[in-house]
Amino acid sequence: MKRQHGIITAALATIFSLLPATSPFAGSQDEHAGHRAQSTPASESSLSEGVVRKADKAAGKVTIAHGPLPNLKMPAMTMVFRVKDAAWLDRMQVDSTIRFQAESINGVLTIVHLESAK
């Protein structure tokens, strides 16, 4: 059992060392406390809502009726986005509501973060 405990402890240490600074566990590392205020993790408020109108898997594109996109200074409209990961298109059923973040990558508006609305 001692040996097993040692392995688990080592595994936990590895996991904790891999945790991002935004993790609540990072608070126990006092030497990093001063940096926390500077990190701005993508919070839920940075996501925009939209309704999937059409998903084109072959083209890796999706048509979304989206709400305002503050980071792109874009009002609500219906438009086509590229998706960073084509596998996301499987999660984009027509008429479903999604929460996403879009960025302009080389001038192409691309969905870089996706979650289901519920």
> In a 3-state reduction of DSSP, which class is residue 34?
helix
Closer of 21 and 49 to Cu ion (Cβ):
49
Show the tokens assigned to 19. Answer: 């945790």
Closest to Cu ion by CB, 10 vs 77, is: 77
Is residue 83 within 8 A of residue 77, CB to CB? The reply is no
State the minimum distance, in angstroms, from the CB of residue 73 to Cu ion. Answer: 10
Closest to Cu ion by CB, 26 vs 82, is 82
Interatomic CA distance for residues 118 and 108, integer angstroms: 28
Q: Is 86 in the site for Cu ion (CB under 5 A)?
A: no
Q: In this chain, which stretch among 18-26, 42-50, 57-65, 73-81 interacts with Cu ion, using CB under 5 A?
A: 73-81
74 binds Cu ion (CB under 5 A): yes
Q: Is 51 exposed, middle or buried (0-12, 13-18, 19+ CB in 10 A)?
A: middle
**79 binds Cu ion, rule: CB under 5 A:** yes
For the CB of residue 79, give the shortest distance to Cu ion in the complex, in Å: 4
Task: Residue count of the chain, please give it.
Answer: 118
Please give the helix or strand (H or E) that residue 92 lies within, else none.
none
* Residues within the interface to Cu ion (CB under 5 A): 74, 77, 79
